[in-house]
Structure 1
Amino acid sequence: MSFLLDCFWPWRQRGLIAQLARREVHARYRQSALGLAWVALTPLLMLGVYTLVFRHIMRVRWPGAVDESNLDFALRLYAGLAVFAFFAECVNRAPGLILEQPNLVKKVVFPIELLPWVSAASAGVGLGVSGLLLLGLNGWVHGGLPLSALALPLAWLPLLPLVLGLSWLLAGVGTYVRDVGQVLGMAMSALMFLSPIFYPVEALPEAVRAWMGLNPLAGVITDTRAVLAGAWPDWGRWALALAAHSLLALAGAWFFRRVRVGFADVV
């Protein structure tokens, strides 16, 4: 029980998590000339590239949008890309979380179950910057933000147990099976186009739309766009997703605890 409490409510270790996440963020940009400015520049550059490709080269129009400006189109895309980027960063890193920290496993008494929290906190910096950009640009384009924009953090809340659960599962498997990371790269590429990033769920045929409910990112992306447009999240779907992702996190933590005993022998 204490192990699960440490996994799901690491309040006593919050300082350690923040310190390690801060170190990861600084290490990522330490050698670059612009440093931490890349945290904001990267999403802006992504926004420009995807807008150029989908809006001006492929001539994509958002279904149902009337008199849509280039920036409106870009922000709809970016609402989905911000969610996916956070998810993909956490999941892609998960198989190597233990392999990248052999000293923490072999030589230091360290609660390695916190490593997914560190990964999520590090990726959360980029998500937070993306959220500020989304709010700021939407407010600028539309002359203000709707009251529902206050629910943006709630719309993103189901992402946390989702990435934690998958990280514990993938870290446990990836420590023993080194091919997991290679498979995940292909899976993330497919998931990006199978998620409603470049199109709304409503644009899909009814039969396909039902299957989209199996995509854990679909509801989060849809709710992100909804709160920025003045609507509230679908609270029933939101509660169901939060409960399902919490069960996944519970299963992931249980699995991680069972397999961690052999980590020191394989890293």
Structure 2
Amino acid sequence: MSDKISRDISSALRTIWRQRRLLINTTRADIQNQFAGTALGLLWVVLGPMTLLALYTIIYAFIFRVRVPDYTVQEYILNVFSGLVPFLAFSQALAMSATVMRRDQKLLFSSYPNIFIPIKAVLTSYVIVGVGTLLIFLGDLAVSEVTWTLLLVPIVMLLQMIFSIGIGMIIALFSVVLKDIEVMIQYITIALLVITPIAYTPEMIPSGLKPLLYVNPLFYFTYSNQYLILVNELPPIHIMVIATFLSASAFFTGLWFFTRARQALNDLL
């Protein structure tokens, strides 16, 4: 059984590597199509997160006057943005994964590799991370001390994207047989927004509620991201180990699951 699993995963990885240009080109086309017909086009990639950041800033920094010890108001806003950008990418990846199999149903009956369908949905969602990370770098340069740890932020984002691809492949398959997934994703996203430390820090959470942090996979990526940017040190080793483990296990599980179930797709759609 383990040999069969290894062969399935190896075959999928070879397909991804050999046809990577096809994946990149179709992802680029999806990004362009996503904003086709809008007046501002790809500017929405910048305007979307900036609008939410402005909303968060007004509510938490100026209305509720949330203050984090040892953080200035500007650093607090940067901390919020550092958590908000990866969260938006992940939440959009969940939403797109839940609909991509029906939206791109025609690709299942073509020579296009089936496994690319959920992968490109996640990659399309993560275009916001590239723009957001650049804005974070500029913000860190303006309001905080810039150190070498900033160079590790893209690595954390890459780990989260790999984690999202694994989860996205599983969600894409389940959404074929369970349409409720699309509705459930909306509530899961809201729940994750509440329990992910974006507008607050883990230290601000009452001890009785802290276990909620550790069952939230986004916590490990968000916390690592914010730690590298604001604390200017490497995150605790156990946080990074868990983040890496979650990323690898989700990716390979999703890869195997999708590869094994793809034979049934034609019968279900």
TM-score after normalising by structure 1: 0.91
**1:167 and 2:176 are equivalent in the alignment:** no
**What's the offset of the Cα at 1:175?**
0.8
1:234 corresponds to which of 233, 236, 242: 236
**Structure 2 letter corresponding to 1:34:** L
**What's the offset of the Cα at 1:262?**
2.1
**What's the offset of the Cα at 1:2?**
5.1
**Structure 2 letter corresponding to 1:99:** R
**1:78 and 2:81 are equivalent in the alignment:** yes
Classify 1:44/1:243 alpha carbon distance in 2 versus 1 (closer, same or farther; 3 Å).
Answer: same
CA contact (8 A) 1:90 1:163 kept: yes
Q: 1:128 is matched with which residue?
A: 130
1:60-209 equivalent positions in 2, closer than 5 A: 60-62=66-68, 64-66=69-71, 68-69=72-73, 71-106=74-109, 108-142=110-144, 145-209=146-210
Aligned equivalents of 1:114 and 1:2: distance in 2?
A: 18
Structure 2 unaligned segments of length 5 or more: list them: 1-5
Percent sequence identity over matched residues? 23
**Structure 1 letter corresponding to 2:257:** F
Q: 2:65 is matched with which residue?
A: 59
Classify 1:217/1:225 alpha carbon distance in 2 versus 1 (closer, same or farther; 3 Å).
Answer: same
Aligned residues: 262
1:32 corresponds to which of 31, 35, 38: 38
**What's the offset of the Cα at 1:255?**
2.1
Aligned equivalents of 1:5 and 1:136: distance in 2?
A: 40
**What's the offset of the Cα at 1:8?**
4.2
Aligned equivalents of 1:243 and 1:151: distance in 2?
A: 17
CA contact (8 A) 1:202 1:209 kept: no
CA contact (8 A) 1:158 1:238 kept: no
Structure 1 unaligned segments of length 5 or more: list them: none
**1:5 and 2:6 are equivalent in the alignment:** no
Aligned equivalents of 2:12 and 2:249: distance in 1?
A: 13
Q: SS in structure 1 opposite 2:66?
A: coil
**Structure 1 letter corresponding to 2:191:** A
**What's the offset of the Cα at 1:96?**
1.6
Aligned equivalents of 2:121 and 2:12: distance in 1?
A: 14
CA contact (8 A) 1:168 1:256 kept: yes
Aligned equivalents of 2:29 and 2:7: distance in 1?
A: 27
Could you report, residue by residue, the CA deviation over 1:97-134 in whole angstroms, capped at 9, with x for unpaired residues? 2111111112x122111223212221222111000000
Aligned equivalents of 2:7 and 2:119: distance in 1?
A: 17
Q: 2:253 is matched with which residue?
A: 251
Q: 2:3 is matched with which residue?
A: none
Could you report, residue by residue, the CA deviation over 1:77-105 in whole angstroms, capped at 9, with x for unpaired residues? 11111111111111111122211111111
Q: SS in structure 1 opposite 2:38?
A: coil
Q: CA RMSD in A?
A: 1.8
Greater shift after overlay, 49-58 or 131-140? 49-58
**Structure 2 letter corresponding to 1:4:** I
Greater shift after overlay, 93-102 or 154-163? 154-163
Q: SS in structure 2 opposite 1:99?
A: helix
**Structure 1 letter corresponding to 2:101:** I
**What's the offset of the Cα at 1:158?**
2.5
- Runs of 4 or more consecutive aligned structure 1 residues displaced over 6 Å after TM superposition: none
**What's the offset of the Cα at 1:6?**
4.9
